[in-house]
Amino acid sequence: MKPHYILAAAAAATTVLALAAQPAPLPPSWHMTGDNPDKFTAGVDTSPEGRGAKFLRSKTNDPDAWAGLLQSVQAQRYLGQRVRFRARLRTEAMSKWAGLWMRIDSPEGKSLVFYNTHDKPVKGTSGWQERSIVLDVPANAGTIVFGAIGAGTGEVWMEPVAFETVGRNVSVDRMPTEALPTAPTL
């Protein structure tokens, strides 16, 4: 084979590999949210390491920025039930923390129940770690919203996503509360 054909074939193969590794857009049911979604990019990782995981990547060096991925579902079929959202997370240079979150809203959009895994953060650079959230769906719920959160700089990947009903024998997650003082300080 002539040298210029070999170079052309190598260049074509490199271009194909580069195109194959380009992230895909988020599926239509997933969206970005948070205080600073403009400081992040999101998509589906098409690399062999990403295996189709959804990702959230900081675009700036703002250590105080945070954003999230979210999906919403109608709560009607889950009213009065206990639900679990779970996924595996992997991080790269996550300066603050990454985790999962879930919120249950009234039909008017008022938050009824909320939990995030801030008390079980994934930080820095880590391999895949499973996290989950279990909440009871109130009788007056309208929407269940869930996803991943990334705070600071770096990147978080989330896969596979599971949303399911669970039995009453599975504990409900509650946000940690700080101890309240016994008397006011004036």
The answer to whether 52 and 67 are in contact (CB under 8 A) is: no
Give just the sign of the alpha carbon dihedral 42, 45, 50, 51.
Answer: positive
The whole-number pLDDT of residue 159 equals 93
pLDDT band with cut points at 50, 70 and 90 for residue 149: very high
The number of helices, as runs of H, and strands, as runs of E, in the chain is 1, 9
Domains, the chain: 24-166 (2.60.120.260)
The partner residues of 164 in beta bridges, in order of sequence, read 84
Q: Residues 156-167: pLDDT tens digits?
A: 999 988 999 999
Asked if the model's pLDDT at residue 150 lies above 90, the reply is yes
Average pLDDT over residues 106-110: 97
> Taking the CA atoms of the chain, what radius of gyration do you get in angstroms?
20
pTM equals 0.82
Cα distances from 113 to residues 57, 145, 182, in angstroms, run 27, 10, 26
